[in-house]
Structure 1
């Protein structure tokens, strides 16, 4: 009954994305290992593990997707996962509950990020773990870092909204749902609010925030609101990307993006660890 109620509540937000998941044409299936992960949200998460293409491995990166039918395939479709693997990082892509091939349960998405991150850390206990998120995946990653026992030493967060209302303010039905949740289930709304999580970060993960100047959904001013809160708690860098649309800074500037992201991860993960590829 509880999951049925959540599915009905989630439909105005995510209903159009609930479609059968397909492998991106660009992905070589032989290079990915399928995994199933149990989340405290009650969901069984579908994940894919891609090993680094290098003998020396610098760390492991969890990739938390934006909203969309492609779900975890976003990172393969647009080349982010291969960029990281070529640079010496193991990567795990996964579907948040209700997206892609994961089962649908509650809206406790930070618990999905937490479960996937812990599974990645358990897979590579001698490596440092980071998370790379985009839009919803980035926002929920911030919230996951307010959870005890999260494994993330660093995070790259693109187009993360500061609150749910900032993102959904253009959409009347979801906006109303969020406003009602603040009245009738305030703890649930707080658990999904990145600015609240930013004030309660666990540990001191190093953060890189990325926002595109052509982003209509999470504009730069929204990003700076989140940045101001995060930088009071931990080292937080802010990169404002010219001509980049929502979640597409890599597409707009692939070389500077790779240099910025890999340089950041190397500085905060690569120096701590270095192992032979398993």
Structure 2
């Protein structure tokens, strides 16, 4: 389960000038470090074909739903991914702002995922 996940560090940190500058500098000084930390790049390397639930709020300016769509594509056949987009929900407030919809999807997802362990 990934809530408000970002595909790359620059995508997320663009809202924060100092952190964004540090990320940009790292791309010059040690480019492989930042590239290796990109969830979008690492997603296809996931082993065991796990189930992944991506949760995004459509009011989230930091990790908007299209980030979830990018991650879902990045996982490809490496994982069984589902994307849940919650209307009116801001960054990291899925449970607070949409508790019923959140619980209705997350609890069955976790029950199914844990049954496989």
* TM-score calculated relative to the size of structure 1: 0.40
1:178 corresponds in structure 2 to 23
C-alpha distance after superposition, 1:149-178 (max 9, x if no partner): xxxxxxx11100110111111222211211
Query: Hey, what's the Cα distance between the residues in 2 that align with 1:202 and 1:185?
Result: 27
Structure with a larger share of its residues in strand: 1
Query: Hey, what's the Cα distance between the residues in 1 that align with 2:19 and 2:113?
Result: 37
Change (3 A) 1:265 1:163: same
SS in 2 for 1:207: strand
In angstroms, what is the RMSD of aligned CA positions? 1.5
2:89 corresponds in structure 1 to 244
- Alignment counterpart, residue 59 of structure 2, candidates 214, 221, 236: 214
* Structure 2 runs not aligned, ≥5 long: none
Structure with a larger share of its residues in helix: 2
Offset, 1:255? 1.8
* Structure 1 runs not aligned, ≥5 long: 1-155, 274-278
Which 4+ runs in 1 deviate beyond 6 A?
A: none
Query: Hey, what's the Cα distance between the residues in 1 that align with 2:98 and 2:86?
Result: 8
- Say whether residues 1:191 and 2:36 are aligned partners: yes
Offset, 1:253? 1.4
Query: Hey, what's the Cα distance between the residues in 1 that align with 2:62 and 2:91?
Result: 7
Query: Hey, what's the Cα distance between the residues in 1 that align with 2:5 and 2:76?
Result: 15
1:254 corresponds in structure 2 to 99
Structure ranking higher on relative contact order (CA contacts 8 Å, 6+ apart) = 2
2:116 corresponds in structure 1 to 272
